[in-house]
Amino acid sequence: MNDTPNGTSTLNINRDSDEPAYAQVVRILSQEIAEGAYRAGAQLPSESQLRARFSVSGMTVRRAINILVDRGIISASQGKGTFVRGLDMREAAFRLRERHDSPLLGPSVQVRLLQAAILTADERIARKLDISRGKRVVYLRRLISQPDGPVMYHREYMVYDPRRPTVEAELQITSLEGLFRGQGGQGLRRGDLGLEAVALSEEEADALQMPVGSPALCLEHIFYDFENHPVAWGWFICRADHFRLLGRIGPETSLGAES
What are the CA-CA distances from residue 50 to residues 22, 132, 235 (Å)?
12, 61, 49
Distance of alpha carbon 133 from alpha carbon 130, whole angstroms: 9
Phi first, then psi: give them for residue 227, nearest 5 degrees.
Answer: -90, 10
Residue range at the interface with DNA (CB under 7 A); choices 63-71, 91-99, 115-123, 222-230: 63-71
Tell me, residue by residue from 192 to 211, as one string, x for binding to DNA by CB under 7 A and - for no binding. Answer: --------------------
Pairing of β 136-146 and β 190-199: unpaired
Which of the listed partners (a copy of itself, DNA, none) does 161 bind, with a CB threshold of 5 to 8 Å by partner kind? none
Tell which residue, 188, 189, 201, 192, has the closest CA to residue 219. Answer: 192
Tell which residue, 101, 43, 110, has the closest CA to residue 77. Answer: 43
Q: Which of 31, 48, 115, 120 binds DNA (CB under 7 A)?
A: 48
The reply on whether position 65 binds DNA by CB under 7 A is yes
Q: Which of 80, 90, 97, 163 binds DNA (CB under 7 A)?
A: 80
Task: Tell me how many residues contact a copy of itself (CB under 8 A).
Answer: 66
The reply on whether position 103 binds a copy of itself by CB under 8 A is no
Q: Which residue type does 42 have?
A: A
Q: Which is nearer to DNA, 47 or 161 (CB)?
A: 47
Q: How far is the CB of 218 from a copy of itself (least distance, A)?
A: 8
Q: How far is the CB of 234 from a copy of itself (least distance, A)?
A: 11
- For residue 21, give every residue at least 6 positions away whose Cβ sits within 8 Å of its Cβ, in sequence order, or none: 13, 15, 54, 56, 60
Q: How far is the CB of 14 from DNA (least distance, A)?
A: 10
The reply on whether position 215 binds a copy of itself by CB under 8 A is yes
